[in-house]
Structure 1
Amino acid sequence: MTMLTPDDIALLLKREGSEGYPGEASDSEAAVQRRTQLLAPVLATCQLAWDSSLSVIDLLAEKIGDGSRDVAWRVPFGESGILEFFIRFVALDGISPTLHLHALRIVGNSCADTDVNRGRVVEGNHLVAIVHRLQDESLIPFTVPVLYNILVDYEPAQIAASKALLNQQLITLLQSPNLTNYTPFVTYFCKILFLLSGHESEATVAHPSTVPILLRLALQPPFSSDADDFVSLASSAAAYLAGAKFQEAMVQGDDFGFLLDAYRHSLTAFDINQLDDSDSADALKQLRSALLTSLSDISANDNFPVHHPLGSSVPQTLLQWLQVPNNALISAACLALGNISRSDEASLALVQTHRAHEPLIALLSNPEIGDPQVLHASLSFLKNLAIPAPNKELLSGLLDSSCIPRIFTLDTLPQVQFSAISLTRLLLVNCVPNVKLVCARLSSDTASPAHDRSTVHAMTTLFTRTDAEPTKLEAARSVAVVCRALHSNPAKPILPEWDPEQPEDREDDSKRREEFYSRHDVGLLLAFLVTQEKWPILRSEAWFVLALMSRSKDGAGLLLSLSFRDRVTGAIYKAILGSEEGADDVVIEESQAESLPAPEETIFPTGGGVELEPQQVDPKQKDQMERIDRENCVVMCKEMLRSLGTEFPELRQSRWEELVKEGTALLIKEKGGQ
């Protein structure tokens, strides 16, 4: 046969390519078939040149490589055998570098956006040879883009490349002392690693130090100063950190500091608003989010505190972040330290030794701080710190009017409000000194409007202002904690003297509480607790508190007014008898209640002969909840009748006596007649 010259081939590829047929669809069946047939003599010429050991094969490969840039020839190269012919040279040693180079060009261009050719590469097991060719550093500018063209958007090739240990080859190159020779292609390295990271095979075959190597490199010049390079390297590391194996290695090793450094660098080294294009800005945002997720996941590992105790460098870095003027770093530190503080031991140390709460109190007290992320993260971390009893009083600065109560007013941040009131409740539980703080006057200045207000006012105001049911619930629970403390401890040391002109009337605990209740509409919140139906265990908590309150005259008086509120009487009937039937005929409108006789000291005997005490519900014994609710409500009604005597409205007195009797009978039956 007559061989075609290199110029003949170049002319053919140009004449019959996209330029020769500008209006033709290059992927149409007719076009592919025509071009495939035209390539038959081209393939024959190449085969003859190779078989005859002619040096012209290099020039032929160059012309075909030039033509492969035309999308019109991609599929025909595969169909005609041109791709298969030249891909063999990738695996061969001892041939000219020029032939290697142009063979790689032909393979890479033929596979660009062409799955049928990518499939040929995978099915022919040619990826192993291409990966092996990475050992020739002079060909890296060609081998790496070829691999990317084969792998991108084509999972079978990604899986095959993973199994061919492509990760290890790339990571080895990234550690090479000759890295500067192919620095411009590091971005392609990262794109390929990102593609590999999502496959299961990577967990077993990837270089074990993939993550720290990538992060270290990202933090070194010249990559650390270029946003795109830094983002590429760090994003690849973050992609691998999504895997459990790499997270566990980060937990047990000494490389977590690189993750912290990379996250800080992503926040402080680049201004998103000054990046050249929106794609770079979006990539940086995604990187920050990915690194934060990794930081959260790893610090949440149960073994993390074992390998990184509070006195070690990583937690100390996080504690330092709490004091920097960067909301994102503070938020990240709160997130990670919040994970670390899930044990009482860690929470106690963070407060009592490391004083982690102090910069956060300053932050929450700063009226200039309105970032929802940093506020929410700070409050969430502090909620962990507020759980151990010895910490509660040490965190009392949070209850200052400039701190958490300030957050109550941020109506545009409902989730932050919820966290703030939840933290408030935790600070009050079993901590009388903190209860005293929220009951105290907000100002000692008699001319100030705050003189007649307390933090309890702020809690009740939040309840009435918010539409978020979880926030209402936490506000109501917080008030219930206050009421429980007032009826479980001497009230005089807790409550302020609201009317100093009549101190003799304030020596009695009941009188002090009565005045406190007259100034704070806690009944509205308690009514919400006992009438809501979504959280039965919290309703049971409330019945217990109301049963405690009923044993004093002031508490009984508050509960009497509470029973006038809509649905409360029905809730009492339902708790005692299992049904609201019969409740309607004894409900007294609030307007009627206002005209009832003034309280007197008369005691109304109820009899009954059965001694009942308020019972607290154990959340683990939900099956007993109904019985305990019944017992607490019977105690409450019985004590109200006893404490209020003739003050009890005549319209409901006999019916409540009957209610106590019926409830007591049910309790006796449930307890086996005892």
Structure 2
Amino acid sequence: MESLNQHLECLKLFGDETEGQILESLNGILLALAENKEMKKPCIDAGLVLALVPLLESTDQEMLLHAGRAIGRICYENSDLQEQLVETGVITSLVRILTDYPDSEPLVHVNLLALCNLANLEIAKEALSKTKVTEHLVKQLRRAENHQRIETITEVLQLLAENDALKVQMVEAGVHEALSEILLRLQGSSQAEDMCSVKAASNLIVSLLLGDESMQKMFANGCGIIYQKVGTWLASNHPQLQLTGALAVANFARNDGNCVRMVQLGVVLQLLDLLEQHVDNGDVSVQHAALSALRNLAIPVANKVQMLEEGVAERIQMLLRSEMAPVQFKLLGTLRMLIDGQGRELLSTD
């Protein structure tokens, strides 16, 4: 405890200390924290966190690394301290480090962990929305070679995707394109860690589709990379990709113009083919997603007519042999939406 106090005094007065002394004290703090988590309290009581923040402006990578680790360990799971950090402008420092040292694996790792801990705060999301953090994160995502790095970055991005402005920035930075590349690379793997990465990437794609503006940018009148992949995903044998494809269509179909375009492009038959694969003892989440997509597609009057002419109603009725009540309920809801209005009139003339 005595040596810890000496390190704390040194760091609180580091303006008078040499760089070597500061690093030595940072090492002492890190060792104390590693040996005993209870050492966090004296660090907090001494006001160490805010005293360390200026060190994040250093150009010495070792100093940045040690200061970042110390701040991270002291602030872990302490939302009050984390908010204070953001208020001092730490977000700007973190983005600068990510910008200036993209090839330093240790610094990038510490930086990503810091962002992961802070990004759940609304104040941090607001601060990050005023930076170019998404551009730097997508660069790191594209170069990520192991599942831990992929999952850490997607976790940060998933938190940022709770903010609509950041959703748009992520799409503009090409996050969804990088995610589709990950799915292409890992979809054939049966390794548990790769399957986790596929799930994380898929979930993030769906999160980006939940924002109206980001969704429209991703659709791009049917020319966007995600919609271009939908057919492949729906036709794959990978349940996670099938689910992602169906959820993508369901979200794109929140817009009537997109609905009309997708029906023109033939997505309805792809969804029906997928449903027929899963009607008996299939994946319920895939069934629900595909049915939601079909129901949304059936909302525009022009689509009702075309879908009925293509025999969609008959194929849906055949699917009613499913013994799962929730699926039957959704099938009937989709059928009802399909024959509503002009669709019903068309049926009555047959």
TM-score normalised to the size of structure 2? Answer: 0.78
Q: Which residue of 2 aligns with 1:594?
A: none
Give the superposition deviation at 1:140.
Answer: 1.6
Residues of 2 paired with 1:72 and 1:263: CA distance? 52
- C-alpha distance after superposition, 1:186-240 (max 9, x if no partner): 2222222222222244255444233343344244327965332222222223223
Gaps of 5+ in 1: 1-8, 14-38, 271-286, 393-429, 434-674
Q: Distance in 2 between matches of 1:264 and 1:68?
A: 52
2:94 corresponds to? 130
Is 1:98 matched up with 2:62? yes
Pick the structure with greater CA Rg: 1
Report whether the alignment pairs 1:12 with 2:16: no
1:146-185 matches, within 5 Å, as 146-152=114-120, 154-175=121-142, 178-180=143-145, 183-185=147-149
CA contact (8 A) 1:218 1:224 kept: no
Q: Distance in 2 between matches of 1:345 and 1:381?
A: 16
Structure 1 residues 77 and 120, CA gap change in structure 2 (3 angstroms): farther
Alignment of structure 1 residues 332-481 onto 2, 5 Å:
332-352=289-309, 354-364=310-320, 366=321, 369-387=322-340, 388=343, 391-392=346-347, 430=348
**Selected match of 2:23 from 58, 64, 67:** 58
State the shift of 1:113 in Å. Answer: 1.3
Mapping for residues 214-363 of structure 1, pairs under 5 Å: 214-221=179-186, 225=190, 226-252=194-220, 253-254=223-224, 255-258=226-229, 268=239, 295-310=249-264, 312=265, 314-326=267-279, 327=282, 328=284, 329-352=286-309, 354-363=310-319
- CA distance in 2 between counterparts of 1:223 and 1:261 reads 13
Counterpart CA distance in 2 for 1:305 and 1:363 is: 22
Supply the AA of the counterpart residue of 2:3. Answer: L
Quick check: 1:334–1:378 contact (8 Å CA) kept in 2? yes
What does 1:532-543 align with in structure 2 at a 5 Å threshold? none
Q: Aligned residue for 1:88? A: 54
The percentage of counterpart residues that share the same residue type is 18
- 1:323-382 Cα shifts (integer Å, max 9, x gaps): 424554455434323322334442332233x33244334333x4xx21223323333333
Instruction: State the AA in 2 paired with 1:59.
Output: E
Please state if 1:119 is matched with 2:83: yes
Among residues 166, 178, 187, which one is paired with 1:202 in the alignment? Answer: 166
In structure 2, how many angstroms separate the alpha carbons of the residues matched to 1:203 and 1:112? 26
Q: CA deviation at 1:390?
A: 6.9
* Secondary structure of residue in 2 paired with 1:169: helix
Q: Is the 8 A contact 1:251 1:307 kept in 2?
A: no
Structure 2: segments with no counterpart, 5+ residues: none
**Matched position secondary structure for 1:55:** helix
In structure 2, the CA distance between the partners of 1:162 and 1:261, relative to structure 1 (3 Å rule), is farther
> 1:602-613 residue pairs with structure 2 within 5 A?
none
TM-score, length-scaled by structure 1: 0.44
Shift of 1:104: 1.1
Alignment-mate amino acid for residue 78 of structure 2: T
Question: Number of aligned pairs?
Answer: 332
Q: Which has the higher contact order (CA 8 A, sep 6+)?
A: 2
Paired with 2:214 and 2:272, the residues of 1 have a C-alpha distance of 25
Partner of 2:277, secondary structure, is coil
Task: Determine the C-alpha separation between the residues in 1 that align with 2:86 and 2:159.
Answer: 16
Asked whether 1:108 is paired with 2:61, we answer: no
> What is the root-mean-square deviation of aligned Cα atoms in Å?
3.5
Q: CA deviation at 1:125?
A: 0.6
C-alpha spacing 1:223/1:64, structure 2 compared with 1 (3 Å)? farther
